[in-house]
Amino acid sequence: MEKVREIVREGRRVGKEDPRRVVHAFKVGLALALVSSFYYYQPLYDNFGVNAMWAVMTVVVVFEFSVGATLGKGINRAVATLVAGGLGIGAHHLASFSGPTIEPILLAIFVFVQAALSTFVRFFPRVKARYDYGILIFILTFSLISVSGFREDEILELAHKRLSTVIMGGVSCVLISIFVCPVWAGQDLHSLLVSNFDTLSHFLLEFGDEYFEATEDGDIKEVEKRRRNLERYKVVLNSKSNEEALANFAKWEPRHGQFRFRHPWKQYLAVAALLRQCAYRIDALNSYINSDFQIPMDIKKKLEEPLRRMSTESGKSMKEASIGLKKMTKSSSSDIHVLNSQSACKALSTLLKSGILNDVEPLQMISLMTTISLLIDIVNLTEKISESVHELASAARFKNKMKPSVSSEKPDAGSLGRAVPIKSHDDDDHVVTILCDVDISNTVGQSRGESSVDSCHHVAIKIDDDDSIHEKH
């Protein structure tokens, strides 16, 4: 009984992880019940006979979880069966002219040549990714038909019935997969990429609190729970195979939702590769948080402000990219945070040149400089990720993120915003919004109307018109 309870608990867990698995099981059962009617009903059985079993076999091997995987396997199987059947009949017909003595020798040569060439072609990376199953069915079908001992007219009838049942089984799988609670591989890949962005941004936003605060303060269970939550980034490290499989399946899928037929799935893989590189840096960075060799807190505090800004702004940039990707809109909000993180890098460089770490011991210096180097790498990767997301948005034709003419966002404390209407040559109204960080302590000294350029850390100019939004930094 304990084994039964364990199986029931495991079934509940698998169903709760993804309820679509339960629906998929019912869909496979429905497809098998449908094609089994070829065997159960006498008129259909008279037409197809024992070959009706090929429809059942087709459903079993073709029906996959996603629409793209099912469609890809179905097309591969149908085309391979058709081509191999035609070539097999041709080989059998050609060998029959040579007489009963030479015929088996020629058939053996034909089988050897096609099997050797087809097996070698399966090693080609592009062929293996999309057509491996089709080539496998091609080898099997050609061999079965070419070496069969039936007469030519019987071979034609056999090939016709088998091809018909294979097509019927494949069409049943495809129709049920598309029209009954469809699972789109493209949508799964898109959601996976958004989830990876959120996971990495969560670590970067929380890094400062973990690195610059004493972890021994507070409840131990709460600290462990927070650390486990922080280490969710590890799922990104092993997501390559899943991403490539989903991208391959998505290429077979028809247009659905906002995903076009020739959607730039390769660009998704390019963004995912950069995210994995960032995740490897984060993994190394996390090892210094949990290391037995800890740098004294007073030394860390010397560089706290720029390091916090670097990690926080990089995390905000990824969060903005995640939001834009999720809504499938073009947005330049992440670029502002990228510039802020680069500004923090320059501030850190200035601070290090000032000799603030001259009294630090060598081992502590090595650990601290490694952490700094990893954060700088993450900042540089964040810029590349932002550029790659912009390329994806352009290639996928994401919608422009429309805003009202006058920005309604409230400026942060210590910042100054102005909306200046201007006239273009085409007499179209435009609005330029200038956002400038101003040091509040300098405002008193500027009462005479003077403006300080040094007090402006960052300027963003947004030009809003009816067609698009252009943002310059």
pLDDT tens track for 404-422: 444 344 444 333 344 344 4
Q: How confident is the model at residue 243 (pLDDT cuts 50, 70, 90)?
A: very high
pLDDT of residue 322: 93
pLDDT at residue 231 tops 90: no
pLDDT of residue 152: 56
Which of 109, 110, 70, 62 is closest to 89 using CA atoms? 110
Q: What is the mean pLDDT of residues 224-239?
A: 83
Q: What is the mean pLDDT of residues 381-386?
A: 94
pLDDT of residue 367: 86
pLDDT at residue 281 tops 90: yes
pLDDT of residue 402: 55
pLDDT at residue 427 tops 60: no
pLDDT of residue 353: 87
Per-residue model confidence as pLDDT tens digits over 187-219: 999 999 999 999 999 999 988 888 887 555 555
Distance in angstroms (rounded) separating the CA atoms of residues 115 and 120: 8
pLDDT of residue 25: 93
Q: What is the mean pLDDT of residues 457-467?
A: 42
Per-residue model confidence as pLDDT tens digits over 245-268: 999 999 999 988 888 888 999 999
Which of 28, 49, 27 is closest to 38 using CA atoms? 49
Spell out the residues 6+ positions from residue 186 whose beta carbon is closer than 8 angstroms to its own.
68, 246, 250, 253, 256, 259, 263, 265
Q: What is the mean pLDDT of residues 105-132?
A: 91
Q: How confident is the model at residue 221 (pLDDT cuts 50, 70, 90)?
A: low
pLDDT at residue 312 tops 60: yes
Q: What average pLDDT does the structure give for the chain?
A: 80
Domain ranges within the chain, ordered by starting residue? 1-179, 185-214+224-398
- Residue pair 58/38 in contact (Cβ under 8 Å)? The answer is no
Q: In terms of pLDDT, which residue wins out, 389 or 411?
A: 389
CA dihedral 453, 459, 465, 469 (to 10 degrees): 160
310, β-bridge pairs: none
Q: What is the mean pLDDT of residues 442-463?
A: 39
User: Which amino acid is residue 447, in one-letter code?
Assistant: S
pLDDT of residue 93: 82
Q: What is the mean pLDDT of residues 39-51?
A: 65
Q: What is the mean pLDDT of residues 303-329?
A: 92
pLDDT of residue 149: 60
Looking at CATH, the fold of the domain delimited by 185-214+224-398 is given as Methane Monooxygenase Hydroxylase; Chain G, domain 1 (1.20.58)
Q: Among residues of the chain, what percentage have pLDDT more than 90?
A: 39
pLDDT of residue 404: 42
pLDDT at residue 448 tops 80: no
pLDDT at residue 77 tops 50: yes
Residues in the chain: 473
Tokens coding 277: 């590189």
